Structure 1
Amino acid sequence: MNNRIVLPSTLFETSNINSEVMLSLYKDMLLGRSFEDMCAQMYYRGKMFGFVHLYNGQEAVSTGIIKTLNNTDYVCSTYRDHVHALSKGVPSNLVMAELFGKETGCSHGRGGSMHIFSAQHNFLGGFAFIGEGIPVAIGSAFQSVYRKQVLKDNDSLRVTACFFGDGTSNNGQFFECLNMAVLWKLPIIFVVENNQWAIGMAHHRSTSYPEIHKKANAFGLPGIEVDGMDVLAVREVAQKAVDRARSGEGPTLIEALTYRFRGHSLADPDELRSRQEKEAWLARDPIKRLKSYLIDNAIVLDDAIDSLHIEVKQEIDNAIEFALSSPEPEVKHLKRYLFADDESH
């Protein structure tokens, strides 16, 4: 049942994805990286407060998984949720405004960095406590089956992609929900973003069985390991998992081996990881790898790449301008959005 996929760095060469799709994948990763870099700037300038966890280095996982989904599919995230939201289509200006605590944010300034949410985009939110999003994702997948079997929805099954980190895979919710997902054949993809560290705890020191994807075997679902620094490798695995879920065959567990280029949060001095380790992973930057492949193989012209960089920079600048000029929530609306009939108060 387990499938250990050994994916070489030359997988790009075997891909049959057309240039337009490749360029869209590159743009999505670039947007995520640029957004997070700007977040760091704004945080250190005192424009953002609280804990802010950035996604730099892991973009291939978000793009590779989420861009295989339909608009009607669902995504459930963690506290490292900005880029997941962007990949799902939540506008960057609304995400940035949320980080600034503004009323125009996607959670009306009430959620902040760790609780990005958008019902319109079927983005189920970021969750501050590890593992708490997994049962929510199970509920999302269950309602998809219920919609189909009980409400007789003619549309295809809606798939839920549930993201969490390597540290979460030692928690009870993980095992309980794997069991339930297989038992009910739920259309869900469990995505372990194994960035090697759970805050300051190295992955191999925190679990008796470091190969997380093999834990799927106990519950009878496919467990797949993939190079999380290779967006095309992630996309290939994700497409098979999405097809399996949508056809009613049940869940898949994907362990994406990746790395965060920054500390656990912007308040983390990042002194526990060695320079050699960080440099080794930085050399495998997923964005630089795809860019080099696109240019070296003449799939796109340099001008197209340059245009994308200009376009993304302008989008980020517009997001900052929108966030800075947006109003803050008013004190009199402190209890707004707490209840379904809140507009009447």
Structure 2
Amino acid sequence: MEKQDARWIYQTMNEIRAFEDEVHRIFGTGKIPGFVHLYAGEEAIASGIMAQLTDDDYITSTHRGHGHAIAKGCDMNRMMAEIMGRKDGLGRGKGGSMHVADVGKGMLGANGIVGGGFGLANGAGISIRNMGKENVAVCFFGDGAANEGTFHEGLNLASILNLPVVFVCENNQFGEGTAHKYASASETIAERASAYNMPGEFVDGADVKAVYKTFKKAMQRAKSGEGPTLIECSTYRNYGHFEGDEQKYKSPDDVNTDRDPIPEFREKALEKEWLTKEEADQIEADAKQQVKDAVDFAENSPLPDIDSLYEDVFA
């Protein structure tokens, strides 16, 4: 890993965590309409992958999409405004948390449909190939989506057409309130890749370096015309499935308090001299300030006009 990538990753991880912790706080005040699903705890995955992408690469996201959007370069001010339903949001305040998108950044959208990203990612892969570009499409999905029919349809089609798509499963152990070990006949999701004639990789999703290395190999494979890869990242969400989730489906043994990817990577970055302690401290402070500025921006943004209901209806 290059020093500049390590710095970017640590900055992005802190931005995601600060953003999500603040959204958690604001949601409790009643200022955010609709549902919110937080990405805190899974930062190593989005950061380790997106450090290797450009605006010309595509991603499809999930209902838990804030981390993907931040890591892909979406404007944090306009993200916060969107989540708070304000006119200056990325979707003019009409989409909210589950529909944050910025096509100009290659972020094809968070998605309220479980498993809704597989077809979109394949479409992006077809576009890349037909235009002769050397880019990649990344499809993020959760362990719950791995049991949707679109998972099998999507992987099968990607393999048949040899598309430059990397499928990334963020297995946070619970599909809403159902434990993965209960809902999956296979021990891992990664092993299902063999049915679709593509590599399947299982990786520790709290280890940025492992995610970075595994994705790099899959990305190179896709760009060289060798086709898709399935990566399963074992991870854990710090909050419930959605804000307000009491998590009664978890036993004391299911509560993971031992792993946190951010201090783990900080320790590694200091050891490798990718960062100094002063630089790391400054990055953490800057991330919190950036989120504070985003909240100020959103709160000063007006609510959408009622007449805007008739705008953006047709392409």
TM-score interval, normalised by the smaller of the two chains:
over 0.9
Of 179, 189, 196, 1:212 maps to 189
The yes-or-no answer on 1:321 pairing with 2:288 is no
SS, match of residue 176 in structure 1: helix
Amino acid paired to 2:26: M
Aligned counterpart, 2:78: 94
**Identity level (%):** 38
Aligned counterpart, 1:137: 121
Shift of residue 299 of structure 1?
A: 4.0
Of 103, 112, 118, 2:96 maps to 112
SS, match of residue 270 in structure 1: coil
Instruction: Give the alignment of 1:244-255 within 5 angstroms.
Output: 244-255=221-232
Instruction: Give the alignment of 1:151-190 within 5 angstroms.
Output: 156-190=133-167
Unaligned runs of 5+ in 1: 1-16, 149-155, 341-345
Give the conservation status (yes or no) of the 8 Å contact 1:51–1:267.
no
Aligned counterpart, 1:195: 172
Of 23, 26, 29, 1:42 maps to 26
Q: Distance in 2 between matches of 1:165 and 1:87?
A: 18
Give the conservation status (yes or no) of the 8 Å contact 1:69–1:242.
no
Aligned counterpart, 1:152: none
Aligned counterpart, 1:261: 238
Q: Distance in 2 between matches of 1:337 and 1:120?
A: 17
User: How high is the TM-score relative to the length of structure 1?
Assistant: 0.89
User: How high is the TM-score relative to the length of structure 2?
Assistant: 0.97
Q: Distance in 1 between matches of 2:156 and 2:253?
A: 39
Amino acid paired to 2:252: R
Per-residue deviation, residues 51-79 of structure 1 (Å, max 9, x unmatched): 10001111111111122112200010000
Shift of residue 132 of structure 1?
A: 1.5
Q: Distance in 2 between matches of 1:37 and 1:182?
A: 39
SS, match of residue 131 in structure 2: helix
Q: Which has the larger radius of gyration?
A: 1
SS, match of residue 169 in structure 2: strand
Give the conservation status (yes or no) of the 8 Å contact 2:55–2:104.
no
Aligned counterpart, 1:275: 252
Q: Distance in 1 between matches of 2:291 and 2:52?
A: 24
Instruction: Give the alignment of 1:13-24 within 5 angstroms.
Output: 17-24=1-8
Amino acid paired to 1:105: G
Aligned counterpart, 1:14: none
Of 64, 69, 80, 2:48 maps to 64
Shift of residue 277 of structure 1?
A: 2.9
The yes-or-no answer on 1:300 pairing with 2:275 is yes
SS, match of residue 231 in structure 2: strand
Give the conservation status (yes or no) of the 8 Å contact 2:5–2:51.
no
Amino acid paired to 2:54: N
Give the conservation status (yes or no) of the 8 Å contact 1:79–1:115.
yes
Shift of residue 157 of structure 1?
A: 2.4
Shift of residue 142 of structure 1?
A: 0.8
Q: Distance in 2 between matches of 1:141 and 1:132?
A: 15
Unaligned runs of 5+ in 2: none
Per-residue deviation, residues 186-212 of structure 1 (Å, max 9, x unmatched): 010000001100111000101211311
Of 200, 210, 229, 1:233 maps to 210
RMSD over aligned Cα, in angstroms?
1.2
SS, match of residue 282 in structure 1: coil
Give the conservation status (yes or no) of the 8 Å contact 2:162–2:227.
yes
Amino acid paired to 1:244: R
Amino acid paired to 2:96: G
Q: Distance in 2 between matches of 1:18 and 1:325?
A: 39
Shift of residue 298 of structure 1?
A: 4.5
Q: Distance in 2 between matches of 1:227 and 1:338?
A: 42
